[in-house]
Each structure stands twice: as structure tokens, then as C-alpha cells.
Structure 1
Amino acid sequence: MDHLRLQHTPNTMSAAQACIAEIERGYRDKAGTHGSPLFTVFDLLKRLQGSTTTSGQFWMINDRATDPQGGTAISAWPLWFSEQSRRDERPLFYMTQAPTSAEVSMLTAQTAERGIILNDIESSPSRWAKGAHPWLPLWLASNRRCTPFDPACGDEAKAILVGALHELYLEGAPGFCYMTLHDIPGEGLACDRSAAHLGMYRLTSAPEGALAQVRLLGAGLMLREVRAAAALLHGEWGLDAEVWSCPSYTRLARDAERQARSRRLQRAEPPVSCHLQQCLGTSEVPVVAVTGYAEFVAAQLGAYVAAPFTALGADSLDPNQHLDRHWIVVTVLRALAERGEVSTASVSEALSRYRLA
């Protein structure tokens, strides 16, 4: 509920358009294209602050305990008292280091659940997966006013920012966007900028003339392990895989849920396909979806995928085991063995080869 009564005005739209134009200019300049999400976002915000066309056109809050970029921490409280600000909403970037759902809930309550939340927790030492308390990803997935993203590289982070600015401030959609940020470079991933904000896009296909025997989905830092698993499958097991980047499993699942609901309520009209179905179609090639969060984040897709589906997350293994490329390979081999496409002995061989048993 917008207790601040923020008003979406033509000035809101022109400010968002100016920010989008500056970000797009960064694409043309190749600025931060292959950097980490954290570095890219901070570099981008510095560009927005320094540009004559965007300076003063957006709100920025920084409650991070440490700021390597030398920014100044400010509070959201001025919004509560400035009637002029409330009557003329601007794009809001909120930088934070909030590891718990209670903290994120509190800061979004201060801003009427608006803006783009940029959470720098994954790069900090933590006993929790991705630096987030286990309740945080659950809160993000269940809060319908929040669209959470887990970008793998700087280019994805840029594309998500552009999509969020367009959706929230040009179209006037309710709610807020959330991004978790890490500081590992993206290794030159070829991002499909038009699809990243929709939740997924294909990174690599099976070699020319070959049919994919499995489709691997990955998000955030875990995409590195997914890509490495695809290389192992090809090099050591003679299996070809498609690799998909999924910056938002939650957005994909919600989109598919809306499509399913529409099909139930409007039976006389042809159903409109969702982005997940447009990407994966009706193929029966097994799908393995991997996340650095708990397994349920990726498992949200299971009800909407026609093919055999397996979700892997930080809690999918025993507490003393670490989800990596080798476990992904074993999971793929097990899925293919159940279909009779590889021998069951290959699963035991992989467990032994990678010293997982």
C-alpha cells in the first residue's frame, strides 16, 4: 500500500526515459559490459549522477555500511516529509546490505514498496547461501509486489535496470524490483538484453547438427557452474546440452501462473503463451534448473515445464556437500539414466570419478 501517496506524473516518465537513455549510451560506449553486477551497477549510478541529463532526475538512497565507490549514505525519511517529492515521483535506486527479510521489508516499507532495491550481500562472508538468511528468498518469492532478480553478469544487471525503469516508471506498474549483486566478473557472457528482464534467455545451443540431450538453467553466480557442467558433459560424457540463463525464476513462474489462470477463466479464447513456454516449448528434453538459493526458488518452474524437470539448490545436498558442476553432471546423468538414454552405471562412475560418493 502506497502510504506515501507517491504520484506518477509526466515528470516521472521523462526522468525514467533520461535514465534509460544514459544506460543505453553506456551500451554503445561498452562501459562495464563484462564487469560484475556489483561493479557495473555502481559504475552506472556514478554515470547517472555525473550526467547533466540525469543528475537530479532520480532518488538514490545508500544505507550500506561500507561504500567502496565513495558514495554518501542518505535516508529515505525525507520522502515522508517532502510533499513536493511525493507529488512528483522519481526513479528510486536503493543500495543496501540487508541479509534478512525483516530488514528488506522494513526498508521497502519506508519507500511505499517502490523503486529498485540493489542488495550487496553476496560478496560478504556469511554462513547462509548467497549471504541471505533462508527466509529472505522465501519472502522475495512470495511478495507479489516484489520482482526479484539474480543477475549473472554486468550486462544482465544493466538490462534488468532498463526493464525495471520502463516497467515501474514509464508504464507505472506497481511494486518494486529487487536485485542481488555479486562482485565476480561475468566472463563476457553474451546477454540477450531484450529477454533478460523477462526472466530467461538461451546462452548456448547444442553443437550444429546435434540435438540437445538436456537443457541446463542457471542463475547468478551458479550459472558459472552450469556452463562448466555443460562443458564436462560434452567433453567427458559425449552429451550435448543447451544452457539458459535465468535471472528470475520467480518472474518466469508468476508469468506462467498468470497464463494458466487465464486459460482456465477464458476457455473460449486461445491462450497467450508465457515467456517460459516460448523458451522451452513442449519439448520433452529433460530440464535441470540450478540456483544458489534454496531449491524451492528454481522448483517454482516445475509445474509449468512439460519435460522431466529437476531443481537443484543450496539445500539439495547433505549439509557437508557443496553444489557445483560435478553434482550438476551427476544429476543430469541420473535424469538421463531414468529415461534409458545412458546406463545406470554412468551415475556410479561419475560419483566415483568426481569423488562425491
Structure 2
Amino acid sequence: DQLMFYKEDKHGQVLQEGINEAGGLCDWIAAGTAYSTHNVPMIPFFIYYSMFGFQRVGDLIWAAADQRTRGFLMGGTAGRTTLNGEGLQHEDGHSHLMSATVPNCVSYDPTYAYEVAVIIQDGLHRMYVEQEDVFYYITVMNENYSHPAMPKGIELDILKGMYKFKEGTANKAPRVQLLGSGTIFREVEFAAELLKNDWGVEADLWSCPSFTELARDGQSCERWNRLHPTEPAKQSHVASCLGNAVGPIIAATDYTRAFAEQIRAYITAPYTVLGTDGFGRSDTRENLRRFFEVDRYHVTIAALKSLADLGQFDAAKVEVAIAKYGISTEAKAPWLI
């Protein structure tokens, strides 16, 4: 007879803490450490606005890491442009930079449902079967779009942080490599269509659920190679994916440029990163992505300019593309506004 009530159940519990991120995080820590303090393994999911996690209760998350908490932090309505209309306070473009500083935090910014499923299954296995002292941070969105079936055999590459989503047509046309994560990977997909249909440029698409895990893998390989100078060198996952790829590489995410910049050291081709540097704003998703220069049109321009720098595309046509897509060349940089 009550609108809301509390009930304990052997199959699980739902705690509604209201607007109280600190209280919710403390509940999550209590449940995530119950395997040690009470010998009762629990699987806590803390679901919240992503901006109000590492931004607001980051010190508690650091404490959770120190206490070897196990569980899942689910950063909802994540990214600088997915939560349209709620402006500076709510729009998160940097939580993945913060999560990268926590050594035992495994973080992902997936685009599709099958990526989320693979990541959560891996987390359950690592934390509750292998008994690893890690926890997962997964950013999820509230944007509606179609989710394709999972390509066969890509589970391990999803977990490593990068897999080939779609290969461009094999021909002699100029080619680029397009990388993205979260909802902005959808803009990257549309950019591939613009490149092909408007400019005759082919694109290979790479979904990158975790630039952070890619960077950690690269660092591990670099360290191992440094300490084993006479043994065959290990290759990072980024290098194994892109080492033989043709053309320049463009990455776009809903986070500041520093997020995707983490993998630059493991890339040999020209690498351009687009991100949402600056304060959040209240507007539509379409306008926000144009403002922060991470929409399909800016990805397309970045790709064409990179090809022009390599002498594979006419620079004058890049100017034509800028005009065609209505991009202002004199607009202030988003991070200066």
C-alpha cells in the first residue's frame, strides 16, 4: 500500500538513497567488502549520474579501492553530450580520466549492449571466481539507437579495449582508420558513411570500449620489453590492431581529448583526437556535439585533413567540405567558452 518500501530478499536488494551519492557509495563499499568482513560475497551495482561519481565522491572511491571493494560502478547518462539540457553540473566529460588513476579500477565506455554483457560477465568471473581485488566502472547512456548482434569471436578484444567493428571496402581509394567509444562511436559510424558517399574515402571502424585498458596494456608491454632486452618484444594490443592499418587514424569520444590521447605512444601513423574539452552546456545532443566538434561532420573533416597532410587528398576540397557541412572556421574553441 506504499509508494516506496524496503524489503530484504534472498535474491537481492535495491537501495534507493535519493540525492545522496556519498551514502550510496558507502552502501556499495559495505556490500562490496562483505566477502571479507562477513564472509558473504555480494555483487553490488551502484547506478548514478556519472558526473556525480568520481567528480563528487572520488575520495570514497579511492577508499573503496584501498579496501579491496568488489563490484560495479555504473555511471549513467554518461559523457559530455548525452544528457542534453542539464548543462555544466551534470555533463561528465572526464570521469574516465579520474578512473584511470585508480590502479584496481577496470573502466569501460561501451557503445552496444553486447559489449556491456561481455564486460559484466568478465567482471563477475574475475571478482567472484578468480577472487581478484578489482572493481569495474562502466559508463552507460540513455540514448535510444539500434544495437546490432555481436560479431563472432570478438569477446577478448572487447575486454582488451578495442576491436574491428567494420572494415571498409577493399579498393584503391584513400583510407582512414576511425576509432570511437560510447555514443560518439555512433557519430564515427555516420562519419564513415559521409566519407564514402561524399568524398570517395574508405574507412575501417574500430570500437574502443576502453582507451584506459589499452593504455595499461601498452604500458605493461613497454615495461616488460625494457626489463627483457634480449627477448622478443611484446606488442601492445593497439599496435597489433593498427600496426598494419592503412591511412591516418582519427579518434573521437564524449570525453576530453586526454582520454583517447592515452594510446598515442603505441601508434605510429598520424593520430588525431577529438574530444569534449570545456564546460558542459544545456542544449540538444546534436548541437552539443557540433559545439564540442565531435559530431560526424567534424570527424569527417579531421579525416580529410589528415589525408591531405599525407598528400592523399586535395587540401582545397577540405575547405569545400568545411563549407558544405556549415562549420564555422572562426568559432572560439569550446574550451575557451
- Aligned twin of 2:109: 150
- Aligned-residue sequence identity (percent) comes to 27
Contact 1:259–1:273 (CA under 8 A) maintained in structure 2: yes
Matches within 5 A, 1:265-344: 265-283=227-245, 285-315=247-277, 320-344=291-315
Normalised to the residue count of structure 1, the TM-score between the two structures is 0.73
Contact 2:277–2:292 (CA under 8 A) maintained in structure 1: no
Matches within 5 A, 1:1-357: 56=10, 63=17, 65=19, 75-76=27-28, 79=31, 86-100=38-52, 101=54, 102-107=56-61, 109-110=63-64, 112=67, 113-122=69-78, 124=83, 125-128=85-88, 131-132=91-92, 134=94, 136-191=95-150, 192-209=154-171, 213-283=175-245, 285-315=247-277, 320-357=291-328
How far apart are residue 115 of structure 1 and its match?
Answer: 1.4
Give the secondary-structure state (helix, strand or coil) at the position aligned to 1:279: helix
Contact 1:63–1:96 (CA under 8 A) maintained in structure 2: no
**Gap change, CA 1:219 and 1:62, over 3 Å in 2:** farther
Q: How many residues align?
A: 297
**Aligned amino acid, residue 181 of structure 1:** V
Normalised to the residue count of structure 2, the TM-score between the two structures is 0.77
Tell me, in whole angstroms, the C-alpha distance in 1 between the residues paired with 2:184 and 2:229. Answer: 39
**Gap change, CA 1:190 and 1:202, over 3 Å in 2:** farther
Contact 1:62–1:94 (CA under 8 A) maintained in structure 2: no
**1:37-56 deviations in Å (ceiling 9; x for gaps):** xxxxxxxxxxxxxxxxxx85
RMSD: 3.3
**Aligned amino acid, residue 258 of structure 1:** S
Contact 2:261–2:273 (CA under 8 A) maintained in structure 1: yes
Tell me, in whole angstroms, the C-alpha distance in 2 between the residues paired with 1:217 and 1:296. Answer: 15
How far apart are residue 172 of structure 1 and its match?
Answer: 2.7
- Aligned twin of 1:13: none
How far apart are residue 78 of structure 1 and its match?
Answer: 5.1
**Gap change, CA 1:349 and 1:115, over 3 Å in 2:** same
**Aligned amino acid, residue 220 of structure 1:** G
Tell me, in whole angstroms, the C-alpha distance in 1 between the residues paired with 2:12 and 2:252. Answer: 35
